[in-house]
Structure 1
């Protein structure tokens, strides 16, 4: 069955802050052409909300229905026909949420009303936050929002199930139907106990595996405890054997005697070491005295050499600095002269720049004076043009609307028709000759013709003649009178004498409107921009300039300076300045070179003077010491004493080496450590024996062997359970995969009828093509000339056209099933060229013969020629 919308009214829904309604929707093609931002897409969203969004929801989608910044309850009312019966749904969201559905079964409200809508439209309850078109059923596919048709998409599950049930008789299979769903649901329930949706093991399989792991862990623990007990018996015997060995070692007194002998040797070694220390101190004292005397002699010799060398270096440096002194003085004088020349050049350049700046100011002032004069002249022209413009606007405003002129024309025709009717039904008389004494309705009559439209009395002498015209003459006279009054009233409202005057006024108003455009162009030409006076283009800018100019004194000098001469003078001054800067840089560089040559010589001179002073001071200090006069004799005697002390040190060293106190102490430590280790080992073995005996006493009576056997049997039973459950899981998995393969094979059978129905539409767009549909009934590819082209690889325009055509094909199949169908396209065919646009319009027009089609578009030119019911968005009158 076809669903036909008749009336749509919205209030407080997004951009429709005031009530708005669309009426007069017909069965066939309906076209709503409105500019952007007028609410076409909002209207489609309101339709979806009225039919599919639950009235009591407050999700994200419902919150978006309220106009921005307003706390109101959006309300939609839709009147429609389904299967020939009238229906009305009124739904309000958010504040005071309500729903009322009126149909053949009467009124319903609340959840019952929602249920009736779902049952009628084949939709299901939408629980998403932003709206799921897949739950809207057939209308979710066929009511296409803006941009949704730019790509070929698969129909929703509801539409696919409906199409499958339609085609079951053709393909001879029920796979995918209710029976398949019941079987598949039962298998999925069992499958979910063994496998996760991603194919991972879960529940039953995890349970038995956990049982195996627990049993194996218990078996291992029991076996480990039994093995540990047996190991404890063996370790106890080994510990007792080691304890006997340690006790025998402790009872042996060999180490005690050895330690006594080592202690006696240690005392002798310590005495030899004391003598060695004394001889070493004596040798060190004599050696230090000899080294001091040798150092003093060496320092005196080194200072004497340094004094001689520094004296020669100082004389050499002073000679070179004297030779460079004259060049350094010359370089300094050149730098002073260059700086003076540079200051003079800078002053000259500043004077030249000031003269040029003053000249430019005078030239700008002269240009401004000229520009101001021109601006004043243009302002006078502007004032006159604006006066003419104002008069033309007043005259153009007197234009009589076309409807009013049509009314005057209609009234004029009515008057002419009334006069004709009056003439046709009236009585005409003619008086000739002497008419003296003849009275007509009490008034003297003269010769001539008269038209009598009513009862008329003639008195001729003493007789009276009564003339009664036909009955229609009176009504004709009344109609003429009414038409004349109506026309006079209309002319009086317009303040014109007659229709000709109204036409003349309209002609004058039209001429004035045309003159307005001419005046506007003249005003634009009269108000150009002028950079010399800082004036922008436009009448407003010129007026503002003249107003601000009222307090400005515009001055100018008739004798203007030569800017070129002043510029040349500035350039010459710049050149002179550059040369002066170059000369200064050259003098500065020469001075730096002279200073660089003098700097190392001055450093060398200072260094040499410092070295000479240091050397002289050291020599004086050394020679002033009391031991210096007998330095040679003292040095020889110190060397002799050092040799004797070295001989005594050698003898003491040999004695100390023969008795090594450190080696003897280490041997004593070894004997002590061996004794302590034996005691520690005995204590540790005693503790281990006690621990082993305690473990055997506590674990021996717990029946560990029986526990180990029982745990091993439980592990074997758990492994058997794992094998059984694994076989069940694999069986269910195989059964599910087999059902999927059977369903896929059956789904392939549905593709043929779907492709056949879609091809009769698409072949008109792409002649000679074959279609390839996927399992979910989506157009997957188009085959042309043996080459398969995926829909995603086609142009955006072709994709959009295919999306519309496949929707029409599905709509036809849903009509065969008796489903409520209507087609709404929001801003369709935006990428279609002229030829394909005409073809698509032709196909949509043909589809409108089978179902209601509504086009929402902003492209007046593209759909201007299309025959259909044209409707405008209009606010409700209050």
Structure 2
């Protein structure tokens, strides 16, 4: 049962923004040869979208259908035949998503339409984000997009099931076919009740485990509650006994009497502490006064010593500084003399350099003047050459192309040939004698010979003569007139009177073109670059320079200075300036040494002067203080007061030690804490007793012992149920693995028929080779000359060819089963050589006799000779 695509219409689908319709596809071989970026691959993607992508999906693949940058809804419409019956499907994606399918059973929309498509094409629902071709069924294998056939791959599960169902009768086994799938599905359904796909426990096993865990938890809780009730009886008795002890302790008044005595002692202790603080403050005041007076005396003594040392240092520094004063004065004078000599030398050097610069400038101006004269001469020559160049250019532009001359010659020959024809077939009349009273077509007739190419009327007075030339003369005359018009039009276009004038003009133009090249070379030679004038090569630069030049003239040669003498004068001035700079540097260095020797002496003198002033100032400040005059008496009296204060402090310390405030306070706090703790303990015990009594009252009548026994029985029952369900799950797991092993053993039986069908195609490409298929019906290797070669190690071209041929073999097997089949190849056989390409085209042409084959390619040279229905996008 072949599937034949008849018509495809797409709009707003990737590059197809405007509506595009492809019609005229036939049952056999259809070839689409278009350049890259035309939309061939997009066309195949649109077919896949119409048949296999759900209309209401918004996955990554569906989002890619919309044209880049447009917020529109892609639309695809396909008309096709299945087993001769017409069908059509229309899908809208993303915006206003919809699907409609019509066929022999009528129309359907939405999910019903998707279900009909899946049933018709043998596909299943695709839930992937980017499109899974394995869910497309047979057409997912046979509609091959770009690069999908570059390696040999195994068919999907849907195709394998269809193929194995076809081969069951041949191999005599149900393993791997539809019957096996039914058995396996039943086992798989039961397996999923107990196990996850990764072999983890779930379903009934998980429920049984949860039941056991819940029963064990309930049993533990019942046992815990029973134990707690039993502990509550003993705990309440112990709490009551402790409460009696606490109440007896709180009734004792010993702690209250002790606390009252301690509070009375605390007042005496606080008064003693206050007296001690007062005595210590008085002592600190007296000690401070003694310290201040003693410090004043010590500062006066220190200032006196500092003043004596500063006076001695100042005297020594002054004497040492006077010793270097003469040397410093002489060094300063030497620096002044050296600076004056250097200024004179620099002035003379600057004058010499100025004279040299002026001389060099005059020489440069002289050279520039000569260069300017040369440039003016070259400019004059350039103008003459350009005038000649313009004249030659105008003449060369009048050249006539050889093709035009050939055309004029052809027109001339056509006129000559037409005139010959007219002369050969025309009627001639001759008039001699007197022409008075004779007219021809109403005009006076002249003497001589006249050639007639049309009917004329000649009158002789009252008589009229009608002359009719042959009929061929009129056509010949028309041909001549046409030739003359064409010739005149061609000559008028060129502005010449005849062919000879055109040839003469062409010769003149050709000679002018030769002269033009010579003039261009002369112009280039007359306009070289001039570094002195900073003029680049070329006529434009020379013209610009002369235009901007003005009236600049050269300096006369007799007025040029002697540059050599001026240079020697500059060198002499530079030497004198250098010697003056050296003498100044030497004087400055001597002055720096004298200043370096004098600087520390001046610093020491200034420091000693400052120290003397500071000491005098400090002494004067101390002696101006009011307490200075009576300092000795005040200091002695203050020391006596300090001794008396120390005695008073010692007495206060003894009184305060006898009554310790901190110790008394700690004892009072201890008694308060003991009373507070007893009250809190009593409250807590009363609370615990009430709680325990409430627990006993509420739990005692609930039959906790019976509940504990029942929970233990439930644990045992749940444990037995878990064991039974575990045994069932393990049995199903063993049955499933046994079926898989049996299927693996049997699947090898299907490889033989598949290899036999594929070999008849591959034999034409690789004669004498044997095929080796894997258990999943994928071609693994080929055996040539006894050597087993893996498909992955073959060349890319051979892999692609084998991939196409195995697809044709599977298509034939699916046709035998009545599955809808067609073959679409996008850019196939890109790595094939010419010989294998011809063989593959022959095989595809033969396959097109059994199914529809569509080739999408950009290789015009490789497929232009292929006989088939040509489709243009």
Using the size of structure 2 for normalisation, the TM-score is 0.63
Mapped contact 2:283–2:646 kept (Cα < 8 A) = yes
Shift in Å at residue 74 of structure 1? 5.7
Q: Are residues 1:186 and 2:183 paired?
A: no
Match of 2:829, SS state, is coil
Give me the whole-angstrom Cα distance separating, in 1, the residues matched to 2:756 and 2:716.
61
Shift in Å at residue 63 of structure 1? 8.2
Counterpart for residue 840 of structure 2: 843
Q: Are residues 1:736 and 2:733 paired?
A: no
Match of 2:628, SS state, is coil
Shift in Å at residue 844 of structure 1? 3.9
What is the CA deviation profile of residues 372-429 of structure 1, one whole-angstrom value per residue up to 9, with x for unaligned ones?
Answer: 99999999999989887x968999999xxxxxxxxxxxxxxxxxxxxxxxxxxxxxxx
Give me the whole-angstrom Cα distance separating, in 2, the residues matched to 1:235 and 1:332.
117
Match of 2:712, SS state, is helix
Counterpart for residue 470 of structure 1: none
After TM superposition, the structure 1 = structure 2 runs for residues 3-402 of structure 1, keeping only pairs within 5 Å, are 10=9, 12=11, 17=18, 21=22, 23=24, 27=28, 31-45=31-45, 47-48=47-48, 91-94=89-92, 109-110=107-108, 122-123=122-123, 132-256=132-256, 258-259=258-259, 262=262, 266=266, 269-270=269-270, 272-305=272-305
Give me the whole-angstrom Cα distance separating, in 2, the residues matched to 1:73 and 1:24.
23
Give me the whole-angstrom Cα distance separating, in 2, the residues matched to 1:8 and 1:229.
86
Mapped contact 1:317–1:601 kept (Cα < 8 A) = yes
Give me the whole-angstrom Cα distance separating, in 2, the residues matched to 1:75 and 1:669.
95
Extract unaligned runs of 5+ from structure 1. Answer: 399-480, 497-518, 534-544, 562-568
Shift in Å at residue 310 of structure 1? 6.4
What is the CA deviation profile of residues 457-484 of structure 1, one whole-angstrom value per residue up to 9, with x for unaligned ones?
Answer: xxxxxxxxxxxxxxxxxxxxxxxx9xx9
Mapped contact 2:122–2:136 kept (Cα < 8 A) = yes
Give me the whole-angstrom Cα distance separating, in 1, the residues matched to 2:603 and 2:235.
90
Change (3 A) 1:75 1:699: closer
Change (3 A) 1:803 1:249: same
Match of 1:188, SS state, is helix
Give me the whole-angstrom Cα distance separating, in 1, the residues matched to 2:25 and 2:759.
34
Change (3 A) 1:152 1:871: same
Counterpart for residue 649 of structure 2: 649
Mapped contact 1:208–1:722 kept (Cα < 8 A) = yes
Give me the whole-angstrom Cα distance separating, in 2, the residues matched to 1:560 and 1:750.
109
Match of 2:856, SS state, is strand
Change (3 A) 1:268 1:372: farther
Counterpart for residue 688 of structure 1: 688
Give me the whole-angstrom Cα distance separating, in 2, the residues matched to 1:761 and 1:649.
127
What is the CA deviation profile of residues 826-854 of structure 1, one whole-angstrom value per residue up to 9, with x for unaligned ones?
Answer: 2223344xxx4522431342343243554
Match of 2:743, SS state, is helix
Change (3 A) 1:820 1:232: closer
Counterpart for residue 669 of structure 2: 669
Match of 1:830, SS state, is coil
Counterpart for residue 462 of structure 1: none
Change (3 A) 1:740 1:305: farther
Give me the whole-angstrom Cα distance separating, in 2, the residues matched to 1:794 and 1:317.
107
Mapped contact 1:91–1:97 kept (Cα < 8 A) = no
Match of 1:238, SS state, is helix
Mapped contact 2:808–2:847 kept (Cα < 8 A) = no
What is the CA deviation profile of residues 170-209 of structure 1, one whole-angstrom value per residue up to 9, with x for unaligned ones?
Answer: 4332122222222222233333333333444334333333
Q: Are residues 1:868 and 2:866 paired?
A: yes
Give me the whole-angstrom Cα distance separating, in 2, the residues matched to 1:263 and 1:43.
107
Shift in Å at residue 620 of structure 1? 1.8
Give me the whole-angstrom Cα distance separating, in 1, the residues matched to 2:390 and 2:37.
42
Shift in Å at residue 240 of structure 1? 1.7
Extract unaligned runs of 5+ from structure 2. Answer: 409-471, 488-512, 528-537, 556-566
Match of 1:825, SS state, is strand
Shift in Å at residue 92 of structure 1? 4.7
Mapped contact 1:771–1:779 kept (Cα < 8 A) = yes
Give me the whole-angstrom Cα distance separating, in 2, the residues matched to 1:791 and 1:231.
80
Match of 1:149, SS state, is coil
Match of 1:855, SS state, is strand
Shift in Å at residue 767 of structure 1? 8.2
After TM superposition, the structure 1 = structure 2 runs for residues 405-804 of structure 1, keeping only pairs within 5 Å, are 613-755=613-755, 757-758=757-758, 773-780=773-780, 796-804=796-804
Shift in Å at residue 295 of structure 1? 1.8
Change (3 A) 1:262 1:850: closer
RMSD of Structure 2 on Structure 1 (CA)? 6.4
Change (3 A) 1:26 1:818: closer
Give me the whole-angstrom Cα distance separating, in 1, the residues matched to 2:36 and 2:782.
34
Give me the whole-angstrom Cα distance separating, in 1, the residues matched to 2:597 and 2:172.
113
Change (3 A) 1:286 1:115: closer
Give me the whole-angstrom Cα distance separating, in 2, the residues matched to 1:138 and 1:11.
24
Give me the whole-angstrom Cα distance separating, in 2, the residues matched to 1:757 and 1:331.
118
What is the CA deviation profile of residues 705-759 of structure 1, one whole-angstrom value per residue up to 9, with x for unaligned ones?
Answer: 3333333333333333333333333333333333333333333443454455556
Give me the whole-angstrom Cα distance separating, in 1, the residues matched to 2:78 and 2:700.
89
Mapped contact 1:11–1:18 kept (Cα < 8 A) = yes
Give me the whole-angstrom Cα distance separating, in 1, the residues matched to 2:218 and 2:134.
54
Shift in Å at residue 856 of structure 1? 2.7
Shift in Å at residue 238 of structure 1? 0.9
Mapped contact 2:765–2:839 kept (Cα < 8 A) = no
Give me the whole-angstrom Cα distance separating, in 2, the residues matched to 1:181 and 1:18.
45
Shift in Å at residue 164 of structure 1? 1.3
Change (3 A) 1:726 1:842: same
Shift in Å at residue 769 of structure 1? 7.4
Give me the whole-angstrom Cα distance separating, in 2, the residues matched to 1:292 and 1:618.
16
Match of 1:627, SS state, is helix
Mapped contact 2:3–2:80 kept (Cα < 8 A) = no
